[in-house]
Amino acid sequence: MKVFSSLNDPEIIRLLKSGGIGVIRTDTLYGLVGRADDEVAVQRIYDLKHRDEAKSPIVLIGLTDQVYDEPTEQAKHVIAGSWPGKISIILPSENAPEWIRRDNASVAYRLPDDVALRQLLRNTGPLVAPSANPEGEEPAMDIHQAAAYFGSGVDFYVDGGTVTDSTPSQLIRVAPDGHTERLR
C-alpha cells in the first residue's frame, strides 16, 4: 500500500492508467477512484465498497470535453453556471460505457473546483469517485479511516488531511427534454 502526500506525484497517474484504484480527497469528500473507461477498475471499486450494482457512480472530469455525449443547449447553460464547483450534473447518455450508466440512461459528472485534482483528471481521464466507505457506512474523513475500511484492497492513498465539511455535492439532473431538476 502506497501513501502519497500530493496528487501531483507521477506515480499516481501511472497507477491509475495501469488499472489501479486508490483513495483521494476530492473537492467534497474522500473518494475511491479508478479510471471510468476501465471496466475492471470500476468493478474492483464496486466489489470493495459492496456497492449496489444498479447505482451509477459519480464521474469526475478535468475538462468539459471529457463527457461521453455532446450536452444539449440547456445542459450547456447549466454547466456554464455550475462548473467548476461542488455541483454534480446528471446528463443523458447513450455513449458512456454500460459499466458507468448501469441501469440508467445518464451519467453524473462533476468538474471540481480544485486545480490539482483537475490536473490529475486531465492526465488520467475521467475517474469514477464514489465516497470512500463501504455501502451503508459513514464516509471516511481521513486516510486513516479509509485505510481501516479498505486496507490493502486499494493500490494507493493520497493524504489530503481531515475533511471538516462533509457536505456532499449538489446534484442537478438535466433530462433529455431539457427539464432541469435539483435532487439535493
Domain segments of the chain as ranges:
2-182
Residue of higher predicted confidence among 45 and 103: 45
Burial (Cβ within 10 Å: 0-12, 13-18, ≥19) of residue 42: buried
What is the tens place of the pLDDT at every residue in 1-37? Answer: 799 999 989 999 999 999 999 999 998 899 999 999 9
The pLDDT of residue 124 is above 80? yes
Q: How many Å apart are CA 119 and CA 138, to the nearest integer?
A: 28
CA dihedral 52, 55, 57, 58 (to 10 degrees): -130
Taking residues 162-172, report their average pLDDT.
84
Residue 178: predicted pLDDT: 76
Residue identified by cell 490529475 is 120
Question: How many Å is the Cα radius of gyration of the chain?
Answer: 15
What is the CATH code for 2-182? 3.90.870.10
For residue 13, count other CB atoms closer than 10 A to its CB: 15
Going by pLDDT thresholds of 50, 70 and 90, the confidence category of residue 118 is very high
Residue 47: predicted pLDDT: 97
The pLDDT of residue 137 is above 80? yes
